Structure 1
């Protein structure tokens, strides 16, 4: 991931209502504790790329989604979407059929 990128985890309830936002650059145990504290059932991975050429996912973005989904399974949480935003547009893993 480029230095000018940010990543946030958006916690959602069963009805996909916003519960809160977590800095995705934190450590995994801290992120999990925050998700559990919010009683999150779903989450969105949101990446912001600073004026990148394209919001298209890179290999490491796909790997991130797969790894997070795998780690969430034992906690009965799921990924609602992985969204990449850039100055040139938006890419949704869900809309592209990747989730």
Structure 2
């Protein structure tokens, strides 16, 4: 009799491990395997999962990669890429639910987690504004601009105009640095000062400007830049 493939039963055992234990007990590649099982119903996906981790760097980097880039990887079809991107979207949605319509200043870490999940892994700069009401409850989270890998054009008057439309009394600005270095540029500092100066006479407070990346975050307020 021919020898059975070594991966026979592996899927069942991995699913059982996942259901019986905390997911932190699994390796990154094992989580990827679980995501790929449904999209690739036959065969051993462990080598593919390990190769994706090696190529992109981590589980988060894999599911956050651009869909077009993922489709170029040998062994990944549309169904598999859809599964990976659904995992990313689910994580962002879960993080968003933790902060939307809640006082964000009392759940600051959750807010930072949401911002990193939604922005930190993008390959180009994005600038978004979180609009708050008088009770500092998040009433709108809007992506204002997309830029290049190292620059995003920001128009201060447009930010304030939108705040007035929403009757927002406070703002938190967030943008990402794809390079991983969260140090603000001189343009970041200047733009922040301009928005603060326009907002103040209109009784709109700029609570913070946060830069996020794969490696962490930088708070303007914590560094006395506001």
TM-score of the alignment, normalized to the shorter chain, above 0.5:
yes
Q: Which has the larger radius of gyration?
A: 2
Computed over aligned residues only, the root mean square deviation of the Cα atoms, in angstroms, reads: 2.0
- C-alpha distance in 1 between matches for 2:205 and 2:197: 9
Q: Provide structure 2 residue ranges, at least 5 long, that are not aligned to the other structure.
A: 1-122, 146-153
> What is the aligned length?
96
Q: Out of 136, 145, 157, which is 1:16 matched to?
A: 136
Q: Quick check: 1:46 aligned with 2:174?
A: yes
Q: Is the 8 A contact 1:49 1:84 kept in 2?
A: yes
**TM-score for both structures, normalised by structure 1:** 0.83
Q: Is the 8 A contact 1:22 1:31 kept in 2?
A: no
Alignment of 1:31-42 (within 5 A): 31-42=159-170
**TM-score for both structures, normalised by structure 2:** 0.39
Point out the structure with the larger helix share: 2
- 2:193 match: 66
Question: Once the 2 structures are TM-superposed, how far is the Cα of residue 23 of structure 1 from its aligned partner?
Answer: 2.6
Higher relative contact order (CA 8 A, sep 6+): 1
Q: Provide structure 1 residue ranges, at least 5 long, that are not aligned to the other structure.
A: none
SS at the partner of 1:24? strand
